[in-house]
């Protein structure tokens, strides 16, 4: 059987990883500034993480959500403590798209409405609901027509206010737009969304799948705006590679039996993986490191005259390269063995482990200097 061919792949086969590094099947070492799309939060194969999952695997890996699983409660408590959302409730699922799907569903349940406001160039995943709220011409959905979604330009207050009404169930926005090339919503724009959702009885959904879990230098990126969201969706860094997603739900949305459900969500392995991630984030000060190392990187990147619009927060950084240097990402990977992400032809995205050291950041800067000059 062949694999269904939907991914453009580099001809590189990683076989081992540790911290911010990967090794391929030929023994070549790579600096990982991409984290497989913002997934690696505490570093590859962190010993604490490996131990927690391995030990749990020897006890019990899975049973359905029909019996008590105290690890879920432990995770909810620790996540509430670290995120500042102790009063929200946690629903565990398996991916970012599934988290957003559940969030949109909850908003419809809670308001009895169908209309959703999303933002131009947003990406929320590939289930039919999540992809309907996604505005990307490359990501095709035959289902979009079935959903009542209005797309508004990011940071356009007038367009947003014109679209808002008492028919809106939810406004869904990424903490920082990732796939679109690192586009940061203005604090006052998020504050406007919060006020307007309150005024119209709509729910504010913050998709922190990519920008959450400390990546921005705060636990959630929207916390820079000093607002609280009704629903927050999580995945990626939450499990450091173990597939898991989560929905944080405000006390205003009341649960009832059968409202949401999943077979695998909240399984024992996912819970211990997530708990190990939170322990390491707290013990190693990784939110603080993301802020410090990210700010340093951004400051240094801004000194390269050839790099345009260096932007982002913490260790979620994007910059544009001029047309003359569009082969930069390939040179970084194949000549200097550094993984980065891309958005379109011109934007490079950096989404490294939150434990990235200054020395690792400096190595990247030295390579950029070689490729671009100063
Ligand atoms: C902001 C955002 N939301 C949702 C998703 C979908 O997550 P998943 O691929 O885990 O379904 C992604 C994935 O890139 C994302 O960046």
Torsion sign (Cα): 180, 183, 184, 190 = negative
Residues 302-329 have a mean pLDDT of 96
pLDDT for 141? 61
Ligand 1 binding pocket mutation candidate from 35, 41, 123, 213 (most atoms within 8 A of CB): 123
Does 191 reside within a domain? yes
Say how far apart CA 259 and CA 106 lie, in whole Å: 8
How far is ligand 1, taken at its centre, from the CA of residue 209, in Å? 6
How far is ligand 1, taken at its centre, from the CA of residue 81, in Å? 24
Looking at the structure, tell me whether residues 120 and 213 fall in a common domain: yes
More confident residue, 177 or 137: 177
pLDDT tens digits along 233-286: 999 999 999 999 999 999 999 999 999 999 999 999 999 999 999 999 999 999
Looking at the structure, tell me whether residues 278 and 293 fall in a common domain: no
Domain boundary among 283, 299, 316: 283
Looking at the structure, tell me whether residues 168 and 307 fall in a common domain: no
pLDDT tens digits along 283-299: 999 999 999 999 999 99
Q: Look at the chain and report how many structural domains it folds into.
A: 2
Q: Look up residue 1 and give its two tokens.
A: 């059987």
CATH of the domain at 197: 3.40.640.10
pLDDT for 126? 87
Strands (E), 10-81: 14-18, 21-24, 29-32
Residues 95-119 have a mean pLDDT of 96
Looking at the structure, tell me whether residues 224 and 243 fall in a common domain: yes
Looking at the structure, tell me whether residues 229 and 191 fall in a common domain: yes
pLDDT for 136? 83
Looking at the structure, tell me whether residues 328 and 338 fall in a common domain: yes
Cβ-contact 171, 205 below 8 angstroms: yes
User: Quick check: CB of 97 below 6 Å from ligand 1?
Assistant: yes
Q: Nearest 5°: phi and psi at 38?
A: 70, 20
Cβ-contact 57, 262 below 8 angstroms: no
Among 86, 79, 106, which Cα is nearest to 256's?
A: 106
pLDDT for 205? 98
Does 344 reside within a domain? yes
Looking at the structure, tell me whether residues 92 and 212 fall in a common domain: yes
Domain boundary among 264, 283, 302: 283
How far is ligand 1, taken at its centre, from the CA of residue 35, in Å? 14
Among 53, 357, 107, which Cα is nearest to 247's?
A: 107
The DSSP string of 113-166 is: --EEEEETT----SSHHHHHT---TTS--TTGGGS-EEEE-TT-HHHHHHH--T
DSSP 8-state symbol, 204: E
In ligand 1, the atom with minimum distance to the C-alpha of 235 is: 10
Instruction: Indicate the burial class of 34 (C-beta count within 10 angstroms; 0-12, 13-18, 19 or more).
Output: buried
How far is ligand 1, taken at its centre, from the CA of residue 305, in Å? 32
Domain that holds residue 160: 48-283
User: Quick check: CB of 96 below 6 Å from ligand 1?
Assistant: yes
User: Quick check: CB of 39 below 6 Å from ligand 1?
Assistant: no
More confident residue, 129 or 222: 222
Does 2 reside within a domain? no
pLDDT for 142? 58
Looking at the structure, tell me whether residues 55 and 193 fall in a common domain: yes
Does pLDDT of 145 surpass 60?
no
What integer best gives the mean pLDDT of the chain? 96
Q: Look up residue 264 and give its two tokens.
A: 């695998």
CATH of the domain at 297: 3.90.1150.10
pLDDT for 133? 86
Closest C-alpha to ligand 1, atom 7 = 96
pLDDT for 139? 73
Does pLDDT of 193 surpass 80?
yes
Does 306 reside within a domain? yes
Q: Nearest 5°: phi and psi at 147?
A: -115, 145
């Amino acid at each position: 059987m062949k694999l269904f061919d939907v991914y453009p792949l580099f001809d590189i086969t990683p076989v081992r990883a540790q911290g911010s590094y990967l090794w391929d099947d030929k023994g070549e070492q790579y600096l990982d500034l991409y984290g497989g799309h913002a997934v690696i939060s505490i570093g590859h194969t962190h010993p604490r993480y490996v131990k927690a999952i391995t030990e749990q695997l020897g006890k019990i890996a899975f049973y359905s959500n029909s019996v008590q699983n105290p690890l879920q409660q432990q995770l909810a408590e620790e996540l509430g403590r670290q995120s500042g959302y102790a009063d929200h409730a946690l629903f565990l699922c398996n991916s970012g798209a599934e988290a957003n799907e559940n969030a949109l569903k909850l908003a419809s349940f809670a308001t009895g409405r169908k209309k959703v406001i999303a933002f131009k160039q947003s990406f929320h995943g590939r289930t039919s609901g999540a992809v309907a709220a996604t505005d990307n011409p490359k990501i095709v959905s035959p289902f979009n027509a079935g959903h009542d979604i209005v797309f508004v330009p990011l940071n356009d207050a007038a367009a947003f206010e014109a679209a808002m009404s008492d028919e809106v169930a939810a406004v869904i926005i990424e903490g920082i737009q990732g796939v679109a090339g690192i586009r940061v919503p203005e604090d006052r724009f998020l504050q406007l969304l919060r006020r307007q959702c309150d005024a119209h009885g709509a729910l504010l959904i913050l998709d922190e799948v990519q920008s959450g879990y400390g990546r921005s230098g705060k636990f959630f990126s929207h916390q820079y705006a000093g607002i609280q969201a009704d629903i927050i969706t999580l995945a990626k860094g939450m499990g450091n590679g173990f597939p898991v997603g989560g929905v944080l739900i405000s006390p205003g949305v009341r649960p009832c039996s059968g409202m949401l459900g999943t077979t695998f969500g909240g399984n024992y392995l996912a819970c211990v993986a997530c708990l190990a991630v939170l322990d390491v984030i707290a013990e190693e000060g990784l939110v603080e490191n993301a802020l410090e190392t990210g700010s340093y990187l951004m400051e240094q990147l801004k000194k390269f005259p050839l790099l345009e619009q260096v932007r982002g927060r913490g260790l979620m950084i994007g910059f544009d390269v001029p047309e003359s240097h569009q082969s930069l990402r390939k040179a970084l990977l194949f000549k200097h063995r550094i993984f980065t992400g891309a958005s379109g032809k011109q934007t490079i995205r950096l989404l490294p482990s939150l434990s990235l050291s200054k020395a690792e950041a400096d190595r990247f800067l030295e390579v950029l200097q070689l490729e671009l000059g100063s």
